[in-house]
C-alpha cells in the first residue's frame, strides 16, 4: 500500500443513536457580524456538525453550560428535541465564520424556532446561566 500524502486530523466525532435512512444533508457557511446574537433558540431535526473557521462562537445547547468555541475547533449537536439556545459571535470587533454540516430527518424541516412559551416550559432543562 502506498503512503498517503494527506494528513488527516480528527476534529470531532459522535455516535448517533438513531439512523434516519434516506436523509437530506446540507453543508453551509455561516458568518456572524461582530457582536451578533445569531439565530434565536431553535432545534434541528437531525445532527449538526460544525467547524469554526474564523473568530469565536458562544455555543449553548439545552442541558449544557455555554462555552466558547474558537477558530480551528469543532462542535456538534444531536438534533431532535434538544434546544440550541446560542450560536453567537463572542467578538465585539471581529466576525465569526463557521461551516455546518446538517443532517435533516426525512419529511422534517432542517431548523425550527422555539416559541417563548416552550422556552418557559423547558426552563428547568437549561443549564444555569452565568451571573452578569
Return the pLDDT at 118. Answer: 96
Return the pLDDT at 91. Answer: 96
Instruction: Report yes or no on whether pTM surpasses 0.75.
Output: yes
Domain ranges of the chain: 24-125
Measuring CA to CA, how many Å separate 126 from each of 3, 74, 99?
48, 22, 25
Superfamily of domain 24-125: Jelly Rolls (2.60.120.10)
Cell (9 digits) for 89: 459571535
Cell (9 digits) for 65: 453550560
Q: What is the pLDDT along the chain (132 residues), one digit of tens a residue?
A: 556 566 566 666 666 666 666 678 888 899 999 999 999 999 999 899 999 999 999 999 999 999 999 999 999 999 989 999 999 999 999 999 999 998 887 788 888 999 999 999 999 999 987 775
| Burial classification of residue 108, based on how many CB atoms lie within 10 Å of its CB (0-12 exposed, 13-18 middle, 19 or more buried) | middle
Return the pLDDT at 129. Answer: 78
Measuring CA to CA, how many Å separate 9 from each of 4, 6, 115?
13, 10, 39
Closest CA to 88 of 129, 32, 29: 32
Per DSSP bridges, beta strands 111-113 and 42-44 are: antiparallel
Q: Which helix (H) or strand (E) holds 53?
A: strand 48-54
Amino acid at each position: 500500500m502506498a503512503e498517503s500524502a494527506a494528513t488527516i486530523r480528527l476534529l470531532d466525532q459522535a455516535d448517533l443513536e438513531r439512523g434516519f435512512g434516506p436523509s437530506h444533508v446540507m453543508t453551509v457557511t455561516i458568518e456572524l457580524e461582530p457582536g451578533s446574537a445569531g439565530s434565536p433558540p431553535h432545534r434541528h431535526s437531525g445532527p449538526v456538525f460544525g467547524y469554526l473557521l474564523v473568530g469565536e462562537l458562544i455555543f449553548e445547547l439545552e442541558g449544557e453550560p455555554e462555552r466558547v468555541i474558537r477558530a480551528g475547533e469543532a462542535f456538534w449537536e444531536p438534533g431532535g428535541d434538544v434546544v440550541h439556545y446560542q450560536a453567537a459571535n463572542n467578538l465585539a470587533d471581529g466576525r465569526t465564520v463557521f461551516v455546518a454540516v446538517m443532517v435533516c430527518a426525512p419529511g422534517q424541516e432542517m431548523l425550527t424556532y422555539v416559541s417563548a412559551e416552550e422556552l418557559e416550559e423547558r426552563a428547568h432543562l437549561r443549564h444555569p446561566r452565568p451571573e452578569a
